[in-house]
């Protein structure tokens, strides 16, 4: 396909990432849950980009643990119910400017069911087909080279401590392999919600590599 490129300056560069419903614990022991999509994984580590003023950031800094609940296309409505809510009271000015309002009972509003985790004191969301318990390994600010943005965004490196997957998504006879034909993640692209194509676009050469070759030492730490 012949392409004709032009210079562009999109305000955001969200070309497409999975939607994560990240749950944390408030200071009074109640649960907070919030949608985010600035996330990527390497092995059993995940990088999370969050606003410093968010309740999720506050909770992560205090408790150093969370659950990353991956939404499928079936949870799109739940994501929308949470989309412009914040657990911070008062609402931070940057969020108030974007129409956010304060809500305490966000699990209930989203119509999601909290369930106990096994390695952290943060609830999982029952309806999400993939749930990853995690602890904070590191944290650093981002964009601190810009005075106007200094201190406004934090990047967390979290280590996954337990993974829960709906058994219908696993390959037959392979309890540690996800069947990518069955897993339908909810994708955010330029703040809009999408699903994946129903099948592979083309056979993947990278997909021929045995997944076990990517196994990191973190996997063996989960029961240590």
CA distance 5 to 29: 51
DSSP letters, 77-91, are HHHHHHTTEES-SSP
Determine how β-strand 101-102 pairs with β-strand 85-86.
Answer: parallel
79-88 mean pLDDT: 93
pLDDT at 195 over 90: yes
pLDDT at 70 over 80: yes
* pLDDT value, residue 148: 82
Confidence of residue 224 (pLDDT cuts 50, 70, 90): low
* pLDDT value, residue 214: 82
* Contacts (Cβ under 8 Å, ≥6 apart) of 35: 19, 20, 21, 22, 71, 79, 82, 83
The region, left, alpha or beta by phi > 0 then psi within -120 to 50, assigned to residue 144 is alpha
Radius of gyration for the chain, computed over Cα atoms and rounded to the nearest angstrom: 18
pLDDT tens sequence across 16-45: 999 999 999 999 999 999 999 999 999 999
* pLDDT value, residue 149: 81
3-state secondary structure of 10: coil
pLDDT at 190 over 60: yes
3-state secondary structure of 224: coil
Flag whether the pTM goes above 0.85: yes
17-221: CATH topology is Pnp Oxidase; Chain A (2.30.110)
CA distance 71 to 176: 19
Name the residue ranges covered by the structural domains of the chain: 17-221
Confidence of residue 221 (pLDDT cuts 50, 70, 90): confident
CA distances from 180 to 94, 95, 101, 197, 200 (A): 38, 36, 36, 11, 9
Lowest model confidence (mean pLDDT) among 89-103, 131-145, 169-183, 201-215? 201-215
């Amino acid at each position: 396909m012949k392409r004709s490129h032009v210079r562009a300056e999109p305000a955001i560069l969200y070309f497409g990432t999975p939607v994560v419903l990240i749950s944390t614990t408030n200071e009074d022991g109640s649960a907070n849950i919030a949608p985010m999509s600035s996330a990527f994984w390497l092995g059993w580590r995940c990088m999370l980009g969050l606003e410093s003023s968010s309740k999720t950031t506050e909770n992560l800094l205090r408790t150093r643990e969370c659950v990353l609940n991956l939404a499928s296309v079936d949870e799109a409505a739940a994501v929308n119910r949470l989309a412009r809510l914040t657990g911070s009271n008062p609402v931070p000015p940057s969020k108030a400017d974007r129409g956010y309002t304060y809500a305490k009972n966000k699990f209930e509003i989203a119509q999601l069911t909290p369930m106990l985790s096994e390695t952290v004191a943060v609830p999982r969301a029952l309806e999400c087909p993939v749930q990853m318990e995690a602890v904070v390994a590191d944290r650093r600010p981002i964009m601190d080279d810009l005075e106007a943005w200094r201190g406004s965004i934090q990047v967390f490196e979290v280590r996954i401590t337990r993974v829960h997957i709906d058994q219908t998504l696993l390959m037959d006879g392979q309890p540690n392999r996800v069947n990518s034909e069955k897993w339908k993640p909810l994708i955010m692209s330029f703040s809009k919600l999408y699903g994946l194509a129903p099948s592979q676009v083309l056979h993947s050469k990278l997909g021929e590599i045995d997944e076990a070759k990517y196994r990191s030492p973190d996997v063996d730490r989960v029961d240590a």
